[in-house]
Amino acid sequence: RTWSPARGRRVNSLRRVRLIARFGRIFAQERLDAECTLRTFICNMEMVQRIIYTATVESFCAAKMAFWKIKINVKETLAINHLGPGSLEAAALDYIVCHKDLYDVFHSVHEVICSMSTNPMISCPAVVDFIVISTLIRELCTVAFSMQTLVPPLDIVCGVDGELFNRTMYYRSFDSDFTAPFVAYHIWPALMENGAVIVKGEVVTKK
């Protein structure tokens, strides 16, 4: 097919809208499903929400690392015969978008679960494994990987407990202390593009 910058921008814009919408649906559906699953094993709602937030952050980290490795290999392969008209970078991104099977999402899911299992900030009872929320992790890894193929890419902000509440980046949860200036813990990360907030995250604020 004929490549053109204008067509590339239109396709990128359409995919961006779809991925942002998918991120929102994961928050509204898979996240709540994961909460219900974890609540059958863990009574502490704060721990449940911390686990899901950690899974989200780890999923983006694993997907971004996988994308970086794949892009290097694709660029090395395409560079042998690449003549344009677009840049090698654009050609590599287009190739990755068209060959989604390059990404082994199940390997990323395994990496996320292993990382979570050694995280001292979260814990599950000995009788249960974080694999019970593998559906959520898989969906997060998939959307995070696809977000790296956008120009510019989309990414999440990794929050820190105790940070000053930022109303341009987060919503407060319904059970927050709305007078508290600091974040007790995070429920969902904000989605960013070039340093600008595209979708607000959610936090719990307490004094």
C-alpha 162 chain-centroid distance: 22
| pLDDT tens sequence across 55-67 | 999 999 999 999 9
pLDDT surpasses 70 at 84 = no
| More confident call, 145 vs 80 | 145
pLDDT score of 2: 47
| Helix axes 105-117 and 134-147, enclosed angle (nearest 10) | 120
Question: Residue for token digits 């219900």?
Answer: 36
pLDDT score of 8: 65
pLDDT surpasses 80 at 83 = no
Q: How far apart are the first and last CA of the chain?
A: 59
**In the predicted model, what is the mean pLDDT of residues 68-96?**
89
Question: pTM value?
Answer: 0.92
**In the predicted model, what is the mean pLDDT of residues 161-177?**
97
pLDDT score of 152: 94
To 5 degrees, how large is the angle CA 196–CA 200–CA 121?
110
**In the predicted model, what is the mean pLDDT of residues 186-204?**
97
- Distance between CA atoms of residues 130 and 180, nearest Å: 32
To 5 degrees, how large is the angle CA 129–CA 140–CA 122?
40
Mean pLDDT, the chain, integer = 93
pLDDT score of 5: 60
pLDDT score of 4: 56
Nearest residue to 176 via CA among 23, 37, 49, 31? 49
Write the DSSP assignment of 126-175 as a string of letters: TT--GGGGHHHHHHHHHHHHHHTTSSSPPEE----TTPBP-TTTEEEPTT
State the amino acid at position 122 in one-letter form: I
pLDDT score of 1: 47
pLDDT band (50, 70, 90) for residue 82: confident
pLDDT score of 6: 56
**In the predicted model, what is the mean pLDDT of residues 7-29?**
91
